[in-house]
Homo-oligomer: A and B are copies of this chain.
Amino acid sequence: MKPVKVGICGLGTVGGGTFNVLMRNAEEIARRAGRKIIVEQIGTRHENPACDTTGIQITNDIFAVATNPEIDIVVELIGGYETARDLVLTAIANGKHVVTANKALIAVHGNEIFAAAQEKNVMVAFEASVAGGIPIIKAIREGLAANKINWLAGIINGTGNYIMSEMREKGRAFDDVLAEAQELGYAEADPTFDVEGIDAAHKLTILASIAYGVPLQFEKAYTEGISKITTEDVQYAEELGFRIKHLGLSRRTPQGIELRVHPTLIPQSTLLASVNGVMNAILVDGDAVGQTLYYGSGAGAEPTASAVVADIVDVVRTLTADRDNRVPHLAFQPGQLSELPMLPVDDVVTGYYLRLQAVERPGVLAHVTRILGEKGINIEAIIQKQTREAQVPVIMMTQRVAESTMNEAIREIEALPDILGEVVRIRVEHLAD
C-alpha cells in the first residue's frame, strides 16, 4: 500500500521522541500498519540535538505543515492553547487528520475541534494527552465498550505523585521535595499546573467524557492542590492504614457526574497506593468488567511518543473506513452524547479525614462528635495523641457524606472555643464500590 506521510509540528521533548521512534522502529511499525509511515516535513524553530533530521524537510512555519498538500496526518506537539488551536483547526480545514498530545487543548477546545473534524470527515487522535504511554483512552473507548463505566480514579500527574511519594517515604516537607523536583526537571519553574491539579483536571476532563459520553467541560472540574499537605497528615494517614495520593476522580451518579482533583486518602492495600514516583495509573470500574487498572510512564519523550505513534497507526488503519464506523472522538457517537450534568463539588459524596487542634480539656471531643452526629456523619476511626502540650491533635475519619454537610459541620467545629485554628480536611475514597 501507499506510504502515509506525516508532518510533525514541534520538535521539543515529545516531538523529538516521536521523530526518533518513527525512525528507529520504522520497520516494526510498517510490519504492523501494513504500510510505511514517512515523516514528510517538520515544523520547528529549534533543532533538537537528540534527532538526526538529515534529509527531512524542515520549516520554521508550522502552518506550512498544516497546509502542505503532500501531508496526510498533522502531528501537533507544540503545546499551549491558542496557537495549537489555530494550527489544528487549519490542518482540519485542509482535510488533514490530526494527532495531538495536548491535554490542555483537548480539555478546553476539544468540543470545537471535534465538531470541525466531524464536519471535514477527518480524525483527531489524542491518546498521548492522558497518562503518556499508557493506552488508557483506547482501553476505555474501545476495550471497555461493553460497560457502563461507574467511576474512575487516577494518578495522572507524575510530578505530584513524585512529591507525595517522597514525602511519605522520606518524611520530607512539600517545599523541599518540590525544589528538588524542579532541579531534576520533573517539575516546571512555575509548578502551579502540576501541584495545583490543573494538569490533572485537563486529563480527568478527557477521561470522564470518553467514559460517560458527555461533552468536555473542563470549567466544571473541581481542583485542589497538594501544597498544603503536611508530613504530619501523611503519617497519620499511614497510621490509619491509608495513603495520601493526588487523585483525579470521576463518578457517575443518577444526579450527575463528579469531576474532581484533590489529595485523597486511599487504602494502602489498593494497587493504586503502591504506584510511586513519577509513574501514572488509572483505575476504572465498569459494570461488567469490575475494576481494571492501567499503569505506566505518564510523561517523557519516548513514552509519550509511544502513544503518538500508536495514534498515527490507528489513523492509518481507518483511512478506508466509513466515517460512521470509526471510533467516535468521545467514544460515543456525536449525536448520542449524554446531557447528564457535572455536579458542583457541594454535591460530591465522599469520606473525610479531619485533623483538629484542640485544647486539652475534658469534653472537647464530645462537642465535636455531637456536631458530627447531629449532621448524620458517622465516625470510622479516631486518633487522639497523648502529648505534654496544652493542645492536642485529634484525627478523625468519617464515612461518606455530602460535601455541603461536611462544610457546615466544619464551620460549627471551628466555632467551638476549644478548637484552635482551621480544621484540616482531606477526602477519603475506599475505591471499593
A residues in contact (CB < 8 Å) with B: 1, 17, 21-22, 24-25, 28-29, 31-34, 127, 132-135, 138-139, 141-148, 213, 271, 274-275, 281, 286-297, 300, 302-303, 305-310, 313-314, 316-322, 324-328, 331-333, 336
Are B148 and A28 touching (Cβ within 8 A)?
yes
Are B317 and A326 touching (Cβ within 8 A)?
yes
Q: Chain B residues near A333 (CB, 8 Å)?
A: 31-32, 34
Known contacts A25-B146, A332-B32: A306-B288 contact under CB 8 Å: yes
Are B296 and A25 touching (Cβ within 8 A)?
no
Q: Chain B residues near A294 (CB, 8 Å)?
A: 292-295
A58 → chain B, closest Cβ, in Å? 22
What separation, in Å, do the CA atoms of A268 and B316 have in the docked complex? 41
Known contacts A146-B21, A288-B25, A288-B306: A319-B313 contact under CB 8 Å: no
Q: Chain B residues near A147 (CB, 8 Å)?
A: 25, 28, 306
Q: Chain B residues near A24 (CB, 8 Å)?
A: 287
Contact of A310 among B135, B143, B307, B321 (CB under 8 A): B143
What separation, in Å, do the CA atoms of A63 and B22 have in the docked complex? 46
Q: Chain B residues near A133 (CB, 8 Å)?
A: 286, 288-290, 292
16 contacts between A and B (CB under 8 A): A17-B288, A25-B146, A25-B147, A25-B288, A32-B328, A133-B289, A138-B143, A139-B139, A143-B307, A143-B310, A144-B306, A145-B314, A146-B308, A288-B309, A289-B306, A292-B294
Q: Chain B residues near A146 (CB, 8 Å)?
A: 21-22, 25, 29, 305-310, 313
Q: Chain B residues near A34 (CB, 8 Å)?
A: 324-325, 328, 333
A19 → chain B, closest Cβ, in Å? 12
Known contacts A145-B309, A146-B25: A292-B295 contact under CB 8 Å: yes
Most chain B CB within 10 A, of A139, A148, A287, is at: A139
Known contacts A138-B139, A320-B322: A32-B305 contact under CB 8 Å: no
Are A290 and B295 touching (Cβ within 8 A)?
no
Are B148 and A144 touching (Cβ within 8 A)?
no
A420 → chain B, closest Cβ, in Å? 40
Q: Chain B residues near A305 (CB, 8 Å)?
A: 146, 288
A71 → chain B, closest Cβ, in Å? 19
Known contacts A146-B313, A303-B288, A306-B146: A213-B31 contact under CB 8 Å: yes
